[in-house]
Chain A
């Protein structure tokens, strides 16, 4: 069936872009309230220490200081996951990383607040630090969360689907590889900020630069012990998130508490350095992959071990851990699969979700190993991927339901457009091309806390003048969710997106959407909007049909009019149609909800990786490498993305380009690195995000597979396109120079070191060789799903 759309599929500008471009958009730090105080945090200068004593009396007596709080003022723990309630807003008894907030001050101005921080006396008793994986697995180091000495394992997982040994037994070729993916961080342009105002009537309002107002709402309720109905959380315009604003953060709680203590509004805007410490970025992951192949490249079996350095707290870590094993089978038919992973605690800022959450690291290892295997088997990189590609409407060995899937079309597109076949192994030395693919969820199948309520709700209210107001807690962090919702509703009603009045991300005004994470908003809020829009439309259509004395089936709503299709004389304006509907059936207010289908298997960990649909991407990167300096110039990137349907191709391409940019940064530049437990450079000078001059041209191809459950067939684009970029760079560098850098980021020193090895007759490789001697226990064996066909 060919659908025709009026606004879906058009490259329209964002509904909020003019204000942003003109600098009129109000971010939290632009906001002021009468009598507003400025809040600041005192940071720990120890990576691991007991707090023996905190004396705030000198700070409190400084003129201009209105409030000082410490950990004992906010004793209730919290954390984004119900199973990881291990954080305090301000450290209680112990600090676990340099930069952890220890006390908070509110004062009449920033200078006073900062001066007061210097007057807080903290007495520490330093403890042994746990910084490396080895130290975390040692049994003679202090346990970060608990007392005494022992291993600092946060969580481990061991799952086997099918029979990996059987699979290896029938392999013609088995290879084992070890990879390391270094940590990196989001580096959103807007630093985290929160403004809290506690009123005389006992109502708290928090404006925060957050991706998850609903979860912040719940956290405030828990930690402040206020009824949820007395708390309002608003996410105004957000200057980028990328997963870095998806946890509840200390400053949100301390701003609120300080406002309650002082009776005045309190704003806390983190410094760039504090944002590096708040972190929740990409976990450093050490990986071991053992894969069996038939001679034609068909995968027979795979074992995947991951070791995650989680930093000091849980955050999303349990989910991150399972994600390092979950999505490998969504691109390739792996008939037998064992995943073992472990996350440890270390005295560093906590890691969490960053664009691709837990999947870019294994994707890097998997795609590099596949290239190595193809090389050995004499198969070209595109063929080995096509040969193993998952089929649409199939089930993976780890029980993930695949619906629409244009993986092969994506591969074909980038291979053809880039001239890959004519370039791979054929360009002059120093130049090369690399291919890789990826897949990502269109929203996590389950909410973060167990409940049976819709994952997204959208409300639409239509004014008697025809004005349409859309209410949704979906949070626009720059990805364009507000424009997406306006587009979906406008399409349903035959109106223009720019005419929609959007009220978003406000717990007082908007019905729940769980937040902007896991690429869930277009799919889930979009589907909820489709339902709400359809209800409004059918009421107006019915009323107009009655008025024109015809059947509703003959009525269309388009271009601002409602009437008989093809007969302009028998139609009314949208506003007239609205008035008819209100007169006939009452207030024109409707809502829609979306709940993902129940997809989770019954085994432990089955909740991670399920999604109502997966996006697919394929990427070719062409590089020009300077063998003497190791400097890599990315010449061009071709990226094909199975978007299901591009609701707005302009925004979709923007997301692809953003993903490519971030992927290149991770592949070549960015490193959230430490000297011992000290961050090597918590600033945008030392943390190397690429500049405009480092960004190559990107050719984007949108492949529309029309997902049966997506809103108008759409799937996600916010995260997926990043995934293949990083291994495609690594594979291109190998094609250019013949060396393998099995470690991200691929920096010039590593490339030169590998080439020097080659010149000494040794293998041209830089990367880890061994994995920790950690024994995974309690292996869960899971039957292959019903109907799973072994290739």
Chain B
């Protein structure tokens, strides 16, 4: 049986201005939809029941990938993950990570804008309405208790976007538009480590595009999941780093995904490796430091203890990727 969607109006503006206007409607609950692979299942599960869906699909300017004269790569919000995966101009690590998301069928529909704005996930909320009724609706669901951490007053739902983790590591920016105008912010500033208000932007702001600076270092993304396809990350580690001629690390960003409500920078580990050559000992210590900020909860597959253990394994391996031959 196909689970049915609740009733809603579906609007398909052809310009960004029209879309922004529609989103600014104070009278009705409006949600932006890209490929629909996150929004539609959530509507089917009655996690959200917007009166209006505003589709970005007909806005031409949001499709496609451009490289500007500085070498920066701009990816329109409506570009699909399949297009990104197949692209030869987007940074290699980003294209590869796009191919790690979900399954081929979903990547044909899912967009980069949708993936970057992917709602935080938790296996107390990504359930049918009757399951949630049986469990007692949680904090993110209008209840007053987070079932993952009942003594906490915060929602622990997990940032599960592979691309957000990579984009933060690459120092990307996102352009946001609303009736009040446009702004470009570092993508890191888009996220809040709070499962409920996980995006910092206003509800009526549209993510228009992602800008990835020209890469001049090395980057990697490693994803932990149970199966070879379909699964959300149980942990994602993205690292970008630059080295001088002597093999000394001069810049590093280490980002953990799937472990908190936002992509999490492992700042101490980053600071530790800058100014060092990535010897085995340095990798091991950096991996240890990176584990410290990680507080995975038991709200996805494989449990919290294992995912915490895996942070150091994955960070060490990812650092090994960027260290290369360490020359």
Give the shortest distance, in Å, between B135 (CB) and chain A (any CB).
Answer: 6
Q: Does A76 contact B (CB under 8 A)?
A: no
User: B227 contacts which chain A residues (CB < 8 A)?
Assistant: 669, 688, 690-691, 693-694
Please choose the segment from B62-70, B112-120, B211-219, B298-306 that sits at the chain A interface, where 4 or more of its residues have CB less than 8 A away: B298-306
Tell whether, in the assembled complex, residue B123 and residue A680 are in contact, meaning their CB atoms are under 8 Å apart. yes
Q: Does B133 contact A (CB under 8 A)?
A: yes
Please choose the segment from A266-274, A329-337, A544-552 that sits at the chain B interface, where 4 or more of its residues have CB less than 8 A away: A266-274
Tell whether, in the assembled complex, residue A748 and residue B302 are in contact, meaning their CB atoms are under 8 Å apart. yes
Tell whether, in the assembled complex, residue A685 and residue B302 are in contact, meaning their CB atoms are under 8 Å apart. no
Tell whether, in the assembled complex, residue B130 and residue A45 are in contact, meaning their CB atoms are under 8 Å apart. yes
Q: Does A404 contact B (CB under 8 A)?
A: no
Interface hub of A29, A691, A753 (most chain B Cβ within 10 A): A691
Q: Does B246 contact A (CB under 8 A)?
A: no
User: A688 contacts which chain B residues (CB < 8 A)?
Assistant: 226-227, 231, 301
Question: In chain A, residues 90-147, which have Cβ atoms closer than 8 Å to a Cβ of chain B?
Answer: 98-99, 110-111, 114
Q: Does B228 contact A (CB under 8 A)?
A: yes
Q: Does B179 contact A (CB under 8 A)?
A: no
Tell whether, in the assembled complex, residue A752 and residue B306 are in contact, meaning their CB atoms are under 8 Å apart. yes
> Which chain B residue has the least Cβ–Cβ distance from A749?
B306
Per-residue 0/1 for B122-154: is the Cβ within 8 Å of any A Cβ (1 yes, 0 no)?
010011101101110000000000000000000
Tell whether, in the assembled complex, residue B306 and residue A693 are in contact, meaning their CB atoms are under 8 Å apart. no
Give the shortest distance, in Å, between A611 (CB) and chain B (any CB).
Answer: 36
User: B202 contacts which chain A residues (CB < 8 A)?
Assistant: none
Which residue from A271, A685, A693 sits with its C-beta under 8 Å from B228? A693
Q: Does A411 contact B (CB under 8 A)?
A: no
- How many A-B residue pairs have C-beta atoms within 8 angstroms? Tell me: 78
Q: Does A747 contact B (CB under 8 A)?
A: yes
Give the shortest distance, in Å, between B38 (CB) and chain A (any CB).
Answer: 12
Question: In chain A, residues 625-645, which have Cβ atoms closer than 8 Å to a Cβ of chain B?
Answer: 628-630
Question: In chain A, residues 642-674, which have Cβ atoms closer than 8 Å to a Cβ of chain B?
Answer: 669
Tell whether, in the assembled complex, residue B306 and residue A679 are in contact, meaning their CB atoms are under 8 Å apart. no
Give the shortest distance, in Å, between B167 (CB) and chain A (any CB).
Answer: 24
A273 to B128, CA, bound (A): 8
Which residue from A98, A114, A693 sits with its C-beta under 8 Å from B229? A693
Q: Does A43 contact B (CB under 8 A)?
A: yes
Interface residues on B, range: 20 to 34
User: B310 contacts which chain A residues (CB < 8 A)?
Assistant: 629
Give the shortest distance, in Å, between A389 (CB) and chain B (any CB).
Answer: 36
Q: Does B230 contact A (CB under 8 A)?
A: yes
Interface hub of A111, A114, A685 (most chain B Cβ within 10 A): A685
User: B126 contacts which chain A residues (CB < 8 A)?
Assistant: 685
> Which chain B residue has the least Cβ–Cβ distance from A29?
B1
User: B135 contacts which chain A residues (CB < 8 A)?
Assistant: 678
Tell whether, in the assembled complex, residue B1 and residue A629 are in contact, meaning their CB atoms are under 8 Å apart. no
Q: Does A682 contact B (CB under 8 A)?
A: yes
> Which chain B residue has the least Cβ–Cβ distance from A677?
B134
Q: Does B224 contact A (CB under 8 A)?
A: yes
The SS class assigned to the B binding surface is loop
Given contacts A269-B1, A681-B123, A686-B123, contact A691 B230 (CB under 8 A): yes
Q: Does A214 contact B (CB under 8 A)?
A: no
Q: Does A46 contact B (CB under 8 A)?
A: yes
Give the shortest distance, in Å, between A626 (CB) and chain B (any CB).
Answer: 9
Tell whether, in the assembled complex, residue A748 and residue B228 are in contact, meaning their CB atoms are under 8 Å apart. no
Question: In chain A, residues 236-279, which have Cβ atoms closer than 8 Å to a Cβ of chain B?
Answer: 269-274
Q: Does A359 contact B (CB under 8 A)?
A: no
Question: In chain A, residues 471-528, which have Cβ atoms closer than 8 Å to a Cβ of chain B?
Answer: none
A630 to B133, CA, bound (A): 35
Given contacts A270-B1, A273-B128, contact A45 B134 (CB under 8 A): yes
Tell whether, in the assembled complex, residue B1 and residue A271 are in contact, meaning their CB atoms are under 8 Å apart. yes
Give the shortest distance, in Å, between B280 (CB) and chain A (any CB).
Answer: 14
Q: Does B8 contact A (CB under 8 A)?
A: no
The SS class assigned to the A binding surface is loop
Per-residue 0/1 for B203-245: is the Cβ within 8 Å of any A Cβ (1 yes, 0 no)?
0000000000000000000001011111100000000000000
User: A114 contacts which chain B residues (CB < 8 A)?
Assistant: 4
> Which chain B residue has the least Cβ–Cβ distance from A270?
B1
Tell whether, in the assembled complex, residue A694 and residue B301 are in contact, meaning their CB atoms are under 8 Å apart. no
Q: Does A191 contact B (CB under 8 A)?
A: yes
Tell whether, in the assembled complex, residue A191 and residue B226 are in contact, meaning their CB atoms are under 8 Å apart. no
Tell whether, in the assembled complex, residue B302 and residue A747 are in contact, meaning their CB atoms are under 8 Å apart. yes
User: B229 contacts which chain A residues (CB < 8 A)?
Assistant: 691-693
A114 to B5, CA, bound (A): 11
User: A748 contacts which chain B residues (CB < 8 A)?
Assistant: 226, 302, 306
Per-residue 0/1 for A730-764: is the Cβ within 8 Å of any B Cβ (1 yes, 0 no)?
00000000000000000111001100000000000
Interface hub of B1, B127, B305, B313 (most chain A Cβ within 10 A): B1
> Which chain A residue has the least Cβ–Cβ distance from B3?
A271
Given contacts A629-B310, A680-B123, A748-B302, contact A691 B228 (CB under 8 A): yes
Interface residues on A, range: 35 or more
Tell whether, in the assembled complex, residue B134 and residue A749 are in contact, meaning their CB atoms are under 8 Å apart. no
> Which chain B residue has the least Cβ–Cβ distance from A114?
B4
Tell whether, in the assembled complex, residue B228 and residue A686 are in contact, meaning their CB atoms are under 8 Å apart. no
User: B10 contacts which chain A residues (CB < 8 A)?
Assistant: none
Question: In chain B, residues 283-324, which have Cβ atoms closer than 8 Å to a Cβ of chain A?
Answer: 301-303, 305-306, 309-310, 313, 317
Tell whether, in the assembled complex, residue B230 and residue A685 are in contact, meaning their CB atoms are under 8 Å apart. yes
A114 to B226, CA, bound (A): 34
Give the shortest distance, in Å, between B145 (CB) and chain A (any CB).
Answer: 14
Given contacts A114-B4, A681-B123, contact A686 B301 (CB under 8 A): yes
User: B302 contacts which chain A residues (CB < 8 A)?
Assistant: 747-749
Which residue from A110, A669, A678 sits with its C-beta under 8 Å from B134? A678
Give the shortest distance, in Å, between B213 (CB) and chain A (any CB).
Answer: 32
User: A692 contacts which chain B residues (CB < 8 A)?
Assistant: 229
User: A747 contacts which chain B residues (CB < 8 A)?
Assistant: 226, 302
> Which chain B residue has the least Cβ–Cβ distance from A671?
B301
A45 to B133, CA, bound (A): 7
User: A46 contacts which chain B residues (CB < 8 A)?
Assistant: 134
Per-residue 0/1 for A289-311: is the Cβ within 8 Å of any B Cβ (1 yes, 0 no)?
00000000000000000000000
Give the shortest distance, in Å, between A433 (CB) and chain B (any CB).
Answer: 22
A131 to B215, CA, bound (A): 54
A209 to B291, CA, bound (A): 50
> Which chain A residue has the least Cβ–Cβ distance from B224?
A629
Question: In chain B, residues 87-133, which have Cβ atoms closer than 8 Å to a Cβ of chain A?
Answer: 103, 123, 126-128, 130-131, 133
User: A691 contacts which chain B residues (CB < 8 A)?
Assistant: 103, 227-230
Question: In chain A, residues 681-734, which have Cβ atoms closer than 8 Å to a Cβ of chain B?
Answer: 681-683, 685-686, 688, 690-694
A629 to B103, CA, bound (A): 23
Which residue from A111, A272, A628, A679 sits with its C-beta under 8 Å from B131? A679
User: B131 contacts which chain A residues (CB < 8 A)?
Assistant: 98, 273, 678-679, 682
Give the shortest distance, in Å, between B148 (CB) and chain A (any CB).
Answer: 11
A271 to B134, CA, bound (A): 17
User: A630 contacts which chain B residues (CB < 8 A)?
Assistant: 306
User: B226 contacts which chain A residues (CB < 8 A)?
Assistant: 669, 688, 747-748
A628 to B313, CA, bound (A): 7
User: A753 contacts which chain B residues (CB < 8 A)?
Assistant: 306
A197 to B281, CA, bound (A): 73
Tell whether, in the assembled complex, residue A111 and residue B130 are in contact, meaning their CB atoms are under 8 Å apart. no
User: A690 contacts which chain B residues (CB < 8 A)?
Assistant: 227
Give the shortest distance, in Å, between A40 (CB) and chain B (any CB).
Answer: 9
> Which chain B residue has the least Cβ–Cβ distance from A46?
B134
What are the nearest 10 A-B pairs in CB distance?
A: A693-B228, A749-B306, A269-B1, A45-B134, A628-B313, A691-B229, A271-B1, A98-B134, A45-B133, A691-B227
Q: Interface residues, chain B, CB within 8 Å of chain A?
A: 1, 3-4, 103, 123, 126-128, 130-131, 133-135, 224, 226-231, 301-303, 305-306, 309-310, 313, 317
- Add 14 more A-B contacts to A44-B134, A274-B1 (CB < 8 A): A110-B4, A111-B4, A114-B4, A193-B1, A272-B1, A273-B128, A629-B224, A681-B123, A681-B127, A688-B227, A693-B229, A747-B226, A748-B302, A749-B303
17 A-B contacts, Cβ less than 8 Å apart? A43-B130, A45-B133, A46-B134, A191-B1, A274-B1, A629-B310, A630-B306, A678-B131, A678-B134, A681-B123, A685-B126, A688-B301, A691-B230, A693-B227, A747-B226, A748-B302, A748-B306
